[in-house]
Structure formats: structure tokens, C-alpha cells
Structure 1
Amino acid sequence: MKYDFDRIVDRKQTNDMKWHAKAVGSYLHMDIPEDMIPMWLADTEFPCAPVIVEALKNRVEKEIFGYCAPMESFYRAVCYWQKLRFNWEVKPEWITYIPSVVAGINIAIRAFSKEGDGVIIQQPVYDPFASIVKNDNRRVVNNGLVCRDGHFEMNLEELEELASRPENTMMILCSPHNPTGRVWKKEELTKAADICLKHHVMLVSDEIHGDIVYQGHTHYPLLSLDGRYAEHFIHLAAPGKTFNVAGLKASMSIIPNQSVREAFVKTQIAMSLDVKNTFGIESVIAAYTPEGAEWAEQEVTYMQENVNYVEEYLKEHMPGVTMIRPEGTFLCWLDLSGLHLGDQELFQRIVLDAAVICVPGPWFGPGGEEHFRLNIGCPRSILTEALERMRKELYRETP
């Protein structure tokens, strides 16, 4: 490989919250050991792509960091990336800069639903989906995923029934899916989108993990599949997961329909979420290039090897723990129900005793019981130590 994904950067010398026990403790509302291994927050441990680092250094040398706005080069970069990665022709005027995908979801909920409306999500799913809906005084409506023979699927019959209720006005789709790692097939996406169209449900597609897809699978931007979807729905994306630049606060909505886009932007401004980040803009322009694409491809290859490593490690050393192999994302969804320890004891042993900070499955809603989400976007040496700590504590004899 041209790039070294085994190199470890000491993030304790930065203000990155992931590696500071006090910050993690504040998040979990408990004391966390200083020797923790953080496998929770969904950013990676890889040094940023050199093309981005160099662009940011060049920008620092300009010496002024006032208010900024994306120019033609930003929009051109986003269009280039969508064409290169997904063969999707995006027009610059469809693109709006937003600080994060989570912010984009929040904006959309406030712009296209009213208090008391139902918002459909597919749990177990990224936990801010539910918290944003609740904080916006909307109702969480769970169209829970179904696990059949070790494979997660959408419950489309139930989705049809839920979408048919007039009080349910929105759906948030996670594509690829966090935490299960599913990369939805074209047929699954179109069936879900057709149901939303039929019942006038606004569909917001969170595609932040769209670049991280493993061999044998393909990510399809929902809006690229049918002109009707582009006319009615919202696409959200960002370089944050792919290039580990979440702290630069650069994401984008892609909304082809002008009236929908204008309503989105109007609410964004009302929420004071329209200020841009100087370095975020630069990171997008640098990342969405041939050099960025080369780096991203090698990163995905390395992480696929990490997935292979976890799969083999579990089979050999951790009986009773299984993993449905992720098709995308750098997140592994571990099923520990075979250990018969229960959620509280699993949390005690993994998070507190082993000091491996994974996200407990129940945080993702129904279907997450006795599961943990493990972030494998890291050098293999870190992953090895984390798994060995977990094994030691999970299989120790109780007094």
C-alpha cells in the first residue's frame, strides 16, 4: 500500500474527545479508566489523507480566518465525487453546505414536519435519529429491521402500513446502515422510496458512510435511482467518516427540487446553522479529488482486512459471540447474547473492566439488546489489544 494505515498517532496530545477519559466519562455519565481503548465514537484512528493535510497547511499560511463561503471549487468537487464514486450527475445548485449530517436531519425535521408528527426510523439505528426526533417534539415511529438467517432486512410490509398513516410524515433512512453494516440493494431502496412517495412521506437519506463499502457490494445514492426521488427527497452526505475530518464540520445536502431546497435553507438560517467552516471547505475540495479517491480506496481495503480479522478472532477465541459481517461502514455489530450475561453485566465487563469503550446495543433502540457496536477503523494493533481485553474479561470466572 502507498499509505500506512498501521501508523499510530497519539491523539491524547490533541483535544479529540474520543481519547480523553473525562470527556468519555461525561458522555457515559460515569468514571472511565485512563487506560481505556476507545472503540465507540465513529471516527477513525488513521492519519488524515496527505492531500487534505497539505491543503490545510496551505490555507493556514494565508493567515486570515474570517467568515467564509464555498466558492465554485467546492461545488465542483462535490459534483466530481458523486460522479466518480456513484456515477451520479449532480448539479452545483442542488448543493447546500451544512455543518453536519445530524444537523441536516434536524433541519429537515423542522422544515418538513410539525410537532406531534411521526417520524419513521429503522431501529436498531444510529441513536441520534431517535433523540433528534424527540427533542424536536415529534414522535419516533419504529419500522424495526428484521434479522433473518444472519441478514438484516427492511420490514417493507410494516413500512407500508406505517407510511399510510397520515400522522407519519417523514422517514429517516440510514444508508449504509449504522450499526448493522447493511448496504441496501437497489431493489430495497426503491421499494422503500416508492412507499414514501405513494403516501407523501418526506424521505431523508443519511448517506455519510456511502464511500465505505466492501467488495461485492455497491452503494446507490437514493436520489440517483429515480427522477421522482430527486424531485421529492433529500440526500445528506459528508467526507467526515471517509477521511476522518468530522471535526472540520463540513457536510452537504443535495436537494434537486428548488422549492424543497429553499424551504430547507430557510429553516437552516432560522436555526443559525448556516455559518461555514474555513477549513471544512478546504477539506472537501482536497478530499474529493483523484488523490483523495486513491487514499480512500486503500483505507477501505485495510478496513476490510480488519473485518476479516475480527471475524476470525471471534470464531477462534470468543465462543458465543457472533458478528453479522458488515457490507459497509467501519462498524461491527457484535451479538453477545450467546454468553447469557445480560446487558448490565456485558457493560460492566467490556466498558468498565476491560476498558474497551464500545457503544451498548440498547442505545440503538429495540433489537440492540445484548449487542455492542465495535469501531474497527483503526490500526490492527489497537484492534488486537481491544479484542484481547474483551476476551479476557468476558470469559473470566465469576466469584
Structure 2
Amino acid sequence: LNDGRYTMDFADLETKAADPANKMLILCHPHNPVGRVWTAAEIQQLGDICRRHDLILVTDEIHGELCYSWADYRPVSALAPELNDRLVVCTGPSKAFNLPGLRISLAIIPSPALRERFTVGLRDLNELFGFNRLGMLALQAAYEDGGPWLDALRAYLEANYLYLRDFLERELPQIRLTPAEGLYLAWLDCRPLGLSDAVLQQLLTDNARVALEPGNHYGPEGSGFVRLNLACPRALLAQALARIRRALA
């Protein structure tokens, strides 16, 4: 975290990649929970590490359709096509189209050789025939006909993000919004409040009656942060923020 913006620690990644026990690097793009959309330069540098140490690059791009208008999200396969021989892209309609209950997802593997290894692995796990027909039809409908709906959703989520930003700047400057480029989730820096994670959660749940996800669920680096879901009616967001403001008064 540098000046409020999350960046990759390439030196640390290089060290870990050099360990022969490591065979794979997993990247979240856009990143959950901090909302970063990685740039072409960052992806290129990461790809160089993968090639030097012969790592498979697995990218979680499940939130790729949910980026803000000021972000330049492009899939890793488009940013660095030279990585396609070692790339596995994991995605699906569950986030953008709100279909998690249908249990349908995609693994896009450009390399035939790597795809065969993946297929053999699924077969060995007895997972190759676990698809459900309804989920497949929903996926097809979402990707073929859901464009206008998705555009409207993105506009609403972006307006919610801007509402949250303006509210915090005006009413709760002691809580800092991490600048985001994607997701429907906001990463809030509550460290200026000077509260422990336990006290912060107690204040939010017991006093404000608002349940936010503790940042330390994502590791010790998330201590002092909380994750807020913006995918809700704006009136509900406004009510939650007003409750938090009263609890902190």
C-alpha cells in the first residue's frame, strides 16, 4: 500500500517464484478486496517472472465485467498474449449477473497442452461431468443477451461508489475510501479511528447495526479495514452510512 494505492511487491514475488516448490502464481484481476485493475506494465512484469521460473499463471477475473468507467480493464490474455502458453483464466457469470446459486463457471485455457492437463486433472477428481443444464442456459443467456442490463448495473454501482466517496469526505473523513477501479465492494480504511478490529466490529454491529466484513479476514495486512458491499439500493446504502455516522459521533 503506497500513498493509498495498492501495488504488487515484485521483489517478493520474484523470491517466491524462484522456489522450485512453487509451480503456479494466482492473480486476482480486478483485485478483491482492494479494487485494483492491474495495468499492462504490471501484467508484463508479472509475466516476466512467470516465464523466468516456468510458472503457470492462473487469473481470477470473475469481477472483470464490473469495472468503473475510469478503469482500463482488459483481460490478461489481451494485455499479454505471449503468456497464453501458461495461462488459465477463471471467470463466470455469478458476480456480474448475480447467478452464484446456479454453480456455473468457466476456465479459459488457450494452450491445448495445458487444457489437456487441466481436463485430465478434472477427470481424475471425478469432476468432469458435474455441469447443470440450467446453469449452462443461464450463462448463455447472460453473455448473449445481458449486455444492456449489465450496462445499467455498472452505472448504478458506479453512482453508489461516488455517493459513498462523497459521503465519507463530507461526513466521515476519519474513514478513508481506498480508490477503486472495479468490483461492487468498497475497501474502507478505518485505521485513523484508532480502534482494534474487535472493537471496530462491535461498534459497527452492535451500535450502528451494520454488518461489514472485517479486513483481517484477508490476512494481517487487512487489520483496520472493512469491506462494504455497494450492490444494494442507494437508499439502503444511505441508511447504513447514516447509522455508522451516528455510532461514531
TM-score bucket (shorter structure): over 0.9
Equivalent of 1:182 in 14, 29, 36: 36
Tell me the residue number matched to 1:251: 105
What is the rounded CA distance, in whole Å, between the counterparts of 2:218 and 2:94 in structure 1?
21
What is the rounded CA distance, in whole Å, between the counterparts of 1:273 and 1:212 in structure 2?
29
What is the rounded CA distance, in whole Å, between the counterparts of 1:366 and 1:160 in structure 2?
22
- Comparing 170-179 with 348-357, greater Cα deviation is found at 348-357
**CA contact under 8 A between 1:175 and 1:184: conserved in structure 2?**
yes
Aligned length: 248
Tell me the residue number matched to 1:283: 138
The amino acid across from 1:153 in the alignment is: T
Percent of pairs with identical residues: 36
The amino acid across from 1:356 in the alignment is: V
Deviation per CA, 1:222-244, whole angstroms, max 9, x where unpaired? 12333431111211111111010
**CA contact under 8 A between 1:213 and 1:219: conserved in structure 2?**
yes
Task: Tell me by how many angstroms 1:325 deviates.
Answer: 2.1
Task: Tell me by how many angstroms 1:332 deviates.
Answer: 0.3
Q: Secondary structure at the match of 1:374?
A: strand
Q: Secondary structure at the match of 2:228?
A: strand
Q: Secondary structure at the match of 1:357?
A: coil
The amino acid across from 2:20 in the alignment is: P
By relative contact order (CA 8 Å, sep 6+), the higher-ranking structure is 1
Tell me the residue number matched to 1:202: 56
- Comparing 201-210 with 253-262, greater Cα deviation is found at 253-262
Equivalent of 2:188 in 334, 358, 365: 334
What is the rounded CA distance, in whole Å, between the counterparts of 2:44 and 2:220 in structure 1?
25
Q: Secondary structure at the match of 1:332?
A: strand
Task: Tell me by how many angstroms 1:393 deviates.
Answer: 2.0
Q: Say what the alpha-carbon RMSD is for the aligned residues.
A: 1.4
What is the rounded CA distance, in whole Å, between the counterparts of 1:299 and 1:242 in structure 2?
9
What is the rounded CA distance, in whole Å, between the counterparts of 1:372 and 1:314 in structure 2?
14
Moved over 4 A (4+): none
What is the rounded CA distance, in whole Å, between the counterparts of 2:179 and 2:148 in structure 1?
25
Tell me the residue number matched to 2:147: 293
What pairs up with 1:1-399 in 2 under 5 angstroms? Answer: 147-274=1-128, 275-289=130-144, 291-395=145-249
Deviation per CA, 1:117-150, whole angstroms, max 9, x where unpaired? xxxxxxxxxxxxxxxxxxxxxxxxxxxxxx1111
User: Structure 2 unaligned runs (5+)?
Assistant: none
What is the rounded CA distance, in whole Å, between the counterparts of 2:162 and 2:81 in structure 1?
38
User: Structure 1 unaligned runs (5+)?
Assistant: 1-146
Task: Tell me by how many angstroms 1:382 deviates.
Answer: 1.1
- Taking structure 1 as the reference length, what is the TM-score of the superposition? 0.60
The amino acid across from 1:170 in the alignment is: M
* Residues 308 and 200 (structure 1), Cα distance of their counterparts in 2 relative to 1, 3 Å cut: same
Task: Tell me by how many angstroms 1:259 deviates.
Answer: 2.2
What is the rounded CA distance, in whole Å, between the counterparts of 1:164 and 1:382 in structure 2?
48
Task: Tell me by how many angstroms 1:216 deviates.
Answer: 2.0
The amino acid across from 2:60 in the alignment is: D
